[in-house]
Chain A
Amino acid sequence: MTTRRKVLLGGAGVLALGAGGLVGRRVWLDREPAALPATDAQGRVVWQNWSGLEHSYPAQRAAPASDAELAELMRRAPVPIRPVGAGHSFTALVPTDGTLLSMDRMTGLVSHDATAMTATVRAGTRLSALGPALAAIGQEMPNLPDINKQTLAGAMATATHGTGKGLTALHGEVTALKLVTPAGEIVQCSRDTKPELFHSARVGLGAFGVLSEVTLANKPLTRVRKEVRLVDTDALLKDWPALAARRNRRTGPPARAGSGCRYADEPQDAA
């Protein structure tokens, strides 16, 4: 009897140790990576993208305030020059030992055409600021991503898109661009002027120079009703064909097992 009890207790102990080991392994594998040093041996401060997957220690950081300053910087600054927006992209476009170039001082509305429903904005404008600026002139972008921290230049250069049937990514609603090339030239391009450059530079990954201004094809400002509902997974899947056919419906990860979030952005009357 004593022996049987010992065997059972021993087996339970082995199981507990095994389970503890598995949990410990999971915790170890999921641990946060060690933080990078804030500065390197030369005293250069670290840059990291939002996800933390990319980093570098740029020798110089620059934030030009005009096309002329930007052009001069392109000619003189330590290379490689890498423009950075909000650092939201996962791609390794920004890390540099040379110059990290921010467009945070080249922001805001330049001009607009109420008839053609277009607006020209400086490329460093953050999407969070762009919406209110366009609303003030009675316009809105046809599509937006679900995060609004990006700069317009960064969002376009990395092909940022939103969600919705028949809607294009941000670069699809652009009619003209102003670029400052690596040689420091200021170049205007559109569907009609230098079309090859225009179409290439719309998602340019920074390879064609730095975007200075963007002309957006917008639509009249509308009022949108946003609805977020927690629904049963089975009901969500049953409605899926109808949801997929709607232009502004999307779903999110389940807030709890057996459910999903359903979002609906329905255009209402004019603002």
Chain B
Amino acid sequence: MRRLFFALPLALAACEAPPQPLTPEQSAALKPADARLAALYESSCKACHAVADSGAPLTGDRTQWDARWAKGETVLLQHTQVGFAAMPAGGQCFTCTPADHAALIRFMAGRAQ
């Protein structure tokens, strides 16, 4: 029974399909379920995160996000607030609260909000 208890999560993890890359069109079609968050996303993050040539990881594309997500949400939030590489501070969302930024990062990284 104990073996089954430990083996089951491993078996389920093995069943999980590896992430597949998204096309820019598939990425651009995604938006947060929450209307207010969706408006913030549309007026800021989307300008770069739905454009393949921008260099920003495409929204929802876990092949581009998983390595970033592994850094931890705290690190990603701080990068967003103070800017990181080509991304300007605040990610162009000047009315976002820290909670808004955290929710937008989770959405773009393909994690449940």
Chain A residues with CB under 8 Å of chain B are: 35-39, 45-50, 52, 55, 61-63, 84, 86-87, 100, 102, 104-105, 107, 126, 128, 149
Contacts and interface: CB of A to CB of B under 8 A. Distances in A.
Interface string B54-70: 00000000000000000
A170 B34 CA distance: 35
Contacts of A47: 89-90, 94
B82 A87 contact: no
Given A36-B82, A46-B82, A52-B83, A100 B43 contact: no
Interface of B: 39-40, 43-44, 47, 78, 81-83, 88-90, 92-95, 97-98
A38 B81 contact: yes
A84 B95 CA distance: 10
Contacts of B78: 38
B56 to A, nearest CB: 12
Contacts of A38: 78, 81-82
Contacts, number: 59
- By secondary structure, the A interface counts as loop
Given A47-B94, A52-B83, A63-B95, A107 B43 contact: yes
A61 B98 CA distance: 12
A62 B95 contact: yes
Given A87-B92, A100-B95, A104-B93, 17 more contacts: A35-B82, A35-B83, A36-B82, A37-B82, A45-B90, A45-B98, A46-B81, A46-B82, A47-B89, A84-B94, A87-B94, A100-B94, A104-B39, A104-B94, A104-B95, A105-B39, A149-B47
B6 to A, nearest CB: 40
A199 to B, nearest CB: 29
- By secondary structure, the B interface counts as helix
A107 B47 CA distance: 15
Contact of B88 (A50, A61, A63, A126): A50
Contacts of B82: 35-38, 46, 48
A84 B40 CA distance: 15
B92 A45 contact: no
A38 B75 CA distance: 11
A45 B81 contact: yes
28 contacts: A35-B82, A36-B89, A38-B78, A38-B82, A39-B81, A45-B90, A45-B97, A46-B81, A46-B89, A46-B90, A47-B89, A48-B88, A48-B90, A50-B88, A55-B89, A84-B94, A86-B92, A87-B92, A87-B94, A100-B94, A102-B95, A104-B44, A104-B93, A104-B95, A105-B39, A107-B43, A126-B43, A126-B47
Contacts of A86: 92
A52 B47 contact: no
Contacts of A100: 94-95
Contacts of B93: 104
B24 to A, nearest CB: 14
Contacts of B83: 35, 48, 52
Contacts of B40: 104
A49 B89 CA distance: 7
Nearest to B85: A32
Contacts of B90: 45-48, 87
Interface centre among A45, A46, A100, A128 (most CB of B within 10 A): A45
